[in-house]
Amino acid sequence: MSKKMEKKYIPLAEFFQNATQSEITLTYEAIENIMGQALPNAAYLNLSWWKKTKPPLTHYQSWFNANYHVMDVQLGQSVTFSRLKQTGIDENDADENTQTSIIRPIETEDARSFIRLQEQIYAQSEFEYYEPNVQHLTVQIIRKQMAEWRKFKQQTILLCIVNGEFAGYSRITGYKEQRLQHGATIRIGVLKKYANNGIGTALVESSIKWSQQNDIERLEAIIMAHNTKAISLFEKHGFTVEGKKVHSVKIDNEYYDEFIYSKLVR
């Protein structure tokens, strides 16, 4: 009887289930980004770890179950996966430039990468509250926050990873006060290079689903009034305006209003 696949390889399995390319080359870093975990030492030292297709170890199922097999391994550098041809499927229909993505909750190993992603978004966006390098976040601070989230269970960060690269995030922040615990705020950030590729839509939809699974009934988003793309995104998903905060943000001596959007998700 085959063993169940280890939990840490589930995001990798989701990635291959979403993939449509006939051939995919991923660096070790990209694979670890997808997983949110470090690969074992054996993956760095032994070709046999990648080539095996039998229990008791079951990591191979993450790609094998999606009809991929390992074609080439450059130990410690990259792995090339090839999709087995299936009857009735035209391999010419596969777009080799397709960007395969997954969205998953942040893991402890993601702390440093998340800080870097957030700082990149701060540097690119005119709609963030912070300028780059002013929060002075550290890996220890993020990991301490994550420990609190696990106790509280109504806060998280969802990461969007495209072809092994961190592309965006959704931060869902719940309330500790008992009478407010049915609600949470949501804030989306996407790297400019991945704008207009459906990443924002996927993050909002995943945030709604996560909230429904974690007993959150109401989501709220605070959006700058001139951020028309974000307004369109949230309105498309059923968020409605509840009010306006006048002159709530001051950037370079100019004042900007903000809209309060909300949606009942349960």
Q: What is the pLDDT of residues 93-122, one digit of tens each?
A: 555 567 899 999 999 999 999 999 999 999
CA 158: distance to chain centroid? 5
Phi/psi-derived region of residue 247, left when phi > 0, alpha when psi is between -120 and 50, beta in every other case: left
pLDDT digits over 146-163, tens only?
Answer: 998 888 888 999 999 999
Least confident of 21-30, 91-100, 167-176: 91-100
- Pick from 165, 146, 139: which is nearest to 34 by CA? 165
Pairing of strands 183-190, 23-27: unpaired
Residue 166: the pLDDT is: 97
Residue 30: the pLDDT is: 97
- Pick from 182, 225, 194: which is nearest to 124 by CA? 194
Residue 92: the pLDDT is: 52
Burial track 54-66 (b if 16+ CB lie within 10 A, e otherwise): eeeebbbbbbbeb
- Region 110-138 average pLDDT: 88
- Region 161-182 average pLDDT: 94
- Region 190-213 average pLDDT: 95
Sorted by where each starts, the structural domains of the chain and their CATH numbers stand as: 7-93 (no CATH), 101-264 (3.40.630.30)
Q: How does residue 1 score in pLDDT terms, banded at 50, 70 and 90?
A: very low
Average pLDDT, whole number, for the chain?
A: 91
Residue 136: the pLDDT is: 82
Residue 128: the pLDDT is: 85
Least confident of 132-136, 158-162, 163-167, 213-217: 132-136
Residue 129: the pLDDT is: 80
pLDDT digits over 30-74, tens only?
Answer: 999 999 999 999 999 999 999 988 877 789 999 999 999 999 999
pLDDT over 90 (residue 249):
yes
For residue 150, give both structure tokens: 């696990």
Residue predicted with more confidence, 127 or 92:
127
Residue 148: the pLDDT is: 87
pLDDT over 50 (residue 204):
yes
Q: Are 158 and 206 within 8 A, CB to CB? A: yes
- Region 129-151 average pLDDT: 85
- The pTM (predicted TM-score) of the whole model is 0.90
Burial track 143-156 (b if 16+ CB lie within 10 A, e otherwise): eeebeebeeeebbb
In the three-class reduction of DSSP (H, G, I as helix; E, B as strand; rest coil), residue 137 is classed as coil
Residue 169: the pLDDT is: 97
DSSP state letter for 2: P
